[in-house]
Structure formats: structure tokens, C-alpha cells
Amino acid sequence: MKPSLEKLGHTAVNAVVYAGGVSTLFMQTLFWVAAPPFRARQVLDQMIKTGVNSAPISTLTSFFIGVVIAFQSAYQMQKVGGEMYIPSLVSISVTREIGPLLTALVVAGRVGASIAAELGSMKVTEQIDALETLATHPVKYLVAPRFIALFTMLPLLTIYADCVGILGGYVVSVYKLGLTSSLYIRMTFEPLVLKDIFTGLFKTLVFASIICMVSCYEGMKVEGGAEGVGSATTKAVVTSIILIIASDAFFTVIFYFVT
Amino acid sequence: METPADMIEVKKVAKSFRGRLVLNQLDLKVHKGETLVVIGRSGCGKSVLLKHIIGILKPDQGEILVEGVNVAALSSKQLNQLRLRFGMLFQGSALFDSMTVGENVGFNLIEHTTLSERAIHERIEESLELVGLKGIQELKPSELSGGMKKRVGLARAICMRPEILLYDEPTTGLDPIMADAINELIVELHDKLKVTSIAVTHDMISAYKVASRIAMMYQGKIIQAGTPDQIRNASNPIVQQFITGSASGPMTDIQVKSLEETEGGSKS
């Protein structure tokens, strides 16, 4: 009995310590983001790495999800003769939910892992210590540019994913289900209000912060060589995914009642 | 002869990691302009001591004074000002592998000065020449051999013309010839740049070659300090065992005993 209770206690303490560590890093990052000088070159590098290079995989996943949603809703809608509402279903579910969530998960896997592995390797080869001896704060030099890049690129990537998802629905509806092109476009935008897009994008900003902070935190506290880097990378991705989905649920509930 | 001024003073510093005491009330003085070599077994906390001196780690107890200023009490801005007077060579060189050799060497100049690009370029070239390297500015660290990396690391450490140089195991992992070349560089840089240097190593050949004073670290303390000759003739059996590199002696006996004790402890 006692050992398991003790274990539970340890887990709780570790969770609090973890949350504290990530929050501290977040505060430091906000401070260094605001502090001059602005590192345009590094931010641009990171934007390309995190945003532009994620576009191909984002294209594929969003397109297929658009296709899937169109087919799945056709399965039900055809029974009641409501095919003309398929475009609306696609556009609402993609902009409010699937676009932001799927993009964040893809970026967590792709970019989060790479950030944790890169910073982790820098930690074990003493490059992060070296930065400090060269009078440069590691958060300022390594975390802040990545944060700015993710914070700006994830929303852009999400907007792009929304469009591609809707295109996926379009292809299915027009070429397979027999809807006309003009009807699809009209029914996509008719129910869509700005609020749908904005709530989706707001969540994206939270997701971007989660991915960046968790991955950087995991990377910067790596100990014990290659093994440590490996486990930090796994932890960064797993923790990011859990937190993304949990915060998604949280904000969906909030938006349901508030707006 | 007047006594030289103390550049760095380590006063009763204690530090433990996860309950393991690594520095135990450690006292050490480093005189201005000397090269102090701290010797001791691998994992005895020598690197930890260096990281305390440059303020990467903070002591649990005690204080570290650099020209009378307590490092641990400085604000991060003041600490960074102080760090610009330091140069540190890491054991694995710790070059930034996303940057070229030139960007590595000139890191501080690019980050902390307003020098023109040309002036920075000249300074980088000069620093690389001081360590005997030329025309490798555009290479990436991954294209260099271990010895070259150490030299580039050294060039980066001296680029700001520091007053204090810290070397973490400068010769470890190098072939004997390259190790000797690095030793000669340390002596040469000391003479040319008039720096105060602290090197930690377990390589006695290196220690004798570069040191003006040697301090032996054991169980988190400095157990003896003196000129290379004083250390060579030290009566302390622990120092003798270490400098002669003998597998049996008071250092290793204690380990065997404690192992027996823990074994006995686990059985009962």
C-alpha cells in the first residue's frame, strides 16, 4: 500500500516541478522576446524550419482529412438527402477543430522532436554551457527565436491547412458526390462566421506555446548523453500531444459557454 | 619578493548534486598572472569547480571572489559583463555545430561588440593564427579533427582577449603529439596575452609542462597546493599515488573498503 501511495506522491511532486519549470521558462522567454536586439536572421531560419518545411506534410494530412470528413458525412447525409450540407460540415469542422488540432499535432511531432533533440545534443556536448560562458543567455539565443517562429508560423500553417482541408472536401463532393462547384463554395462560406476561424486560431497560439516550451524545456534539461537525448525527444512529443489535446478540450468547453 | 595579488579566491565552497557532495568546503586561491593546474581523478568535481568560477553553477555554500567581487551575488547583466573577461575551453570543445568556424571564433565579437564586419573578420583571423590555424573559417566544426576543434575552441576563448582563461581537460582525448602542441599553446598564450589561467586535468605530463602552481583535488577539497617541484616531492601518500599513477594506494583502498561495507550492509 505504502509504496504505491509514495509513488503517487512522487508523481504529483514531479508534475508540479515540471509545470513550474515550464512556466519559468515561458516567463523568461516572454522577457527575452521583448528584449532587444531582435534576431531577424535566426527567427527567419526557424520560421523556414518550423513553418515552411512543415507545409508539405500539413498539405497531405489536411487534404486527406477533408476527403475523410466529406465521405463520412456523405454516409449519413445521403440517407436524409442532405448532401448539400456536406460542404458546411467540412468547413465548420475543419476551421473550428480539425485544422488547428491536426496542424498542431503534426508540428509537435515534426518540430517539437527536432527542437528537443537539437537542444538536447547541445546540452550534452556543453554547447549550452559554452553559450553562457560567452555571456549569452541560452533562452535569449535559443528559445526566443524558436518561440517567435512557432507563434507566427503555426497560425499561418493552420490557415493554410484549413484551405487545403476544404479543398479535399471539394474534390470529393464535386467529383464523386455530384455537387456543383458553385454550390460547394456557397455552402462552405454561408455558415462560416469569423468567430469560427478566430477561435480556431486562438487555440493555435496556445498550441504553439505548448510545443515550443515543452520541447525547449525537455531539450535543455537533458542529462546523460545519447540516451538522455532520445528519451527527452520522446517525452517532448508525448507531453506536447497530451497537453495540446487537453487544452483543446478545455478551450472548446470555454468557447461553447462563452461565445 | 612581494606576494602576488589574488585574482580568484574560492572560499569554503560546497556543492552537492542529488545528495552527493562534490565540492566540500573547498578553498583555493589563484594569483594574478599564474597558471594554476588543478589535478585530480576523473569525476572528482574539477569541471564543477571551473563552472562555479565562471558562474554557470552556483555554490550551495561559500563564495567565489573574482578580484574581490562575489560571482554568485551578481545580477545576470553584471555576470555577463564579468564573463566577457573570461575565456573557457571545454573538454569536448563545445563548438556550435550550426555555425562555421569563423562564426564560432567571432561569436562574442558579433554578439557583444559594434565592430565592423571587416574588423571582426581580421580579429577572427588573428585569433586563429595565434592557435596555429589558417584558412578554415568557412569550414563547419564537423569537418575538423579533435585536435583542430580544441584549437578552434581555444581561438574562440581568446577572441575577446580575456584576462582569465579556463581550460577543462585541454589534452584529454588527443594523441600525445597533439596534446603536447596544445600544452605549448597554453604556455605561449599565457606569455603572449599575460592571462591568469586555470586548467583542470588528470594528465600529469600536461600539468608539469604548463603549471606555475599545481593544486591536488580529492574528495571535494584541495588537499595540497604548491609549485610543480613541491607537488613532485610531496609526502602526502594520496598525492604521490596520483602523480605516479599507481593503481594501488590510499585513493583506491578506500573505494574497495566502502564497497565491502555496502555489500555487508545490503546482506544484513
CB contact B85 to A (< 8 Å): no
Does any CB of chain A come closer than 8 Å to the CB of residue B54? Answer: yes
What value does the mean pLDDT of chain A take?
91
Q: Which of A60-69, B14-23, B145-154 has the highest mean pLDDT?
A: A60-69
CA distance B54 to B75: 13
Which one has a higher pLDDT value, B254 or A4?
A: A4
Residue in the block written with cell 565579437: B109
Instruction: Give the per-residue pLDDT at B268.
Output: 40
Q: Is the pLDDT of residue B152 over 60?
A: yes
A135: closest chain B residue by CA: B80
Q: Which residues contact A80 (CB under 8 A, 6 or more apart)?
A: none
Q: Which of A125, A136, A137 sits opposite B94 (nearest CB)?
A: A125
Angstroms from B248 CA to nearest CA on chain A: 30
Q: How far apart are CA B95 and CA B87, in angstroms?
A: 13
Highest mean pLDDT among A146-155, B78-87, B161-170: A146-155
B41: confidence class by pLDDT, cuts 50, 70, 90: confident
Q: Are strands B6-17 and B61-66 parallel, antiparallel or unpaired?
A: antiparallel
pLDDT of residue B251: 78
Residues A52-84: tens digit of each pLDDT: 999 999 999 999 999 999 999 998 888 888 888
Q: Please state the domain extents for chain A.
A: 2-258
pLDDT tens digits, one per residue of B189-214: 888 888 999 999 988 889 999 999 99
Q: Which residues of B touch A132 (CB under 8 A)?
A: 54-56, 83
Q: What is the C-alpha separation between B94 and A152, in angstroms, rounded?
A: 31
Q: Give CA–CA dist B210/A241, Å, rounded.
A: 53
- For residues B59 and B72, the answer to whether their CB atoms sit within 8 Å is yes
Q: Kindly indicate the confidence band of residue B260, based on its pLDDT and cuts at 50, 70 and 90.
A: low
Please report the pLDDT score of residue B266 as a whole number.
46
Chain A within 8 Å of B95 (Cβ-Cβ)?
yes
Please tell me the predicted confidence (pLDDT) of residue B173.
82
> Mean pLDDT throughout B77-100?
90
Q: Check if B208 contacts A (Cβ < 8 Å).
A: no
Per-residue pLDDT, A46: 92
What's the pLDDT at B267? 44
SS3 B174: coil
Distance CA B133, CA A172 (A): 63
Contacts of A126 in chain B (CB under 8 A): 90-92, 94
pLDDT of residue B258: 59
Share of chain B above pLDDT 70, in %: 93
Distances (CA, A) of B250 to A30, B224, B254: 53, 15, 6
Confidence label for B6 from pLDDT (cuts 50, 70 and 90): confident
pLDDT band at residue B101 using 50, 70 and 90 as cut-offs: very high
Q: What is the mean pLDDT of residues A189-217?
A: 91
User: DSSP class of residue A36?
Assistant: S
pLDDT score recorded for residue B174: 83
pLDDT at B255 over 70: no
The CATH topology of domain B6-85+164-234 is Rossmann fold (3.40.50)
Within its chain, how far is the Cα of A180 from the centroid? 34
Cβ pairs bridging A and B (under 8 Å): 50
> What whole-number percentage of chain B has pLDDT above 90?
18
pLDDT at B1: 43
User: What per-residue confidence (pLDDT) applies to B73?
Assistant: 87
The alpha carbon of residue B94 is apart from the nearest alpha carbon of chain A, in Å, by 5
Q: Work out the minimum CA distance from B252 to partner chain A, whole angstroms.
A: 26
State how far the alpha carbon of B77 is from the alpha carbons of A26, B57, B159, in Å: 20, 16, 21
Give domain limits for chain B: 6-85+164-234, 94-161
Residue B10 has pLDDT above 50, yes or no: yes
ipTM of the complex: 0.85
Nearest CA in chain A to B158: A134
User: What pLDDT does residue B37 have?
Assistant: 92
Other Cβ atoms less than 10 A from the Cβ of A184: the count is 25
B91/A127 Cβ within 8 A: no
pLDDT digits (tens, 9 = 90+) for A144-188: 999 999 999 999 999 999 999 999 999 999 998 888 889 889 888
Range with the largest mean pLDDT of A203-207, B92-96, B201-205: A203-207
d(Cα A49, Cα A146) in Å, to the nearest integer?
10
pLDDT exceeds cutoff 60 at B167 = yes
Give the pairing type, strands B35-39 and B213-218: parallel
Task: Write the pLDDT tens digit of every residue in B208-242.
Answer: 999 999 999 888 888 888 898 898 888 888 888 88
- B97:A132 CB<8 A: no
Starting at the edge strand found earlier in the chain, the sheet holding B69-70 runs B20-31, B6-17, B61-66, B69-70
- CB within 8 Å: B94 and A136: no
pLDDT value at A48 more than 80: yes
DSSP 8-state code for residue B13: E
Test B51 with A136 for CB contact under 8 angstroms.
Answer: no
pLDDT at B2: 46
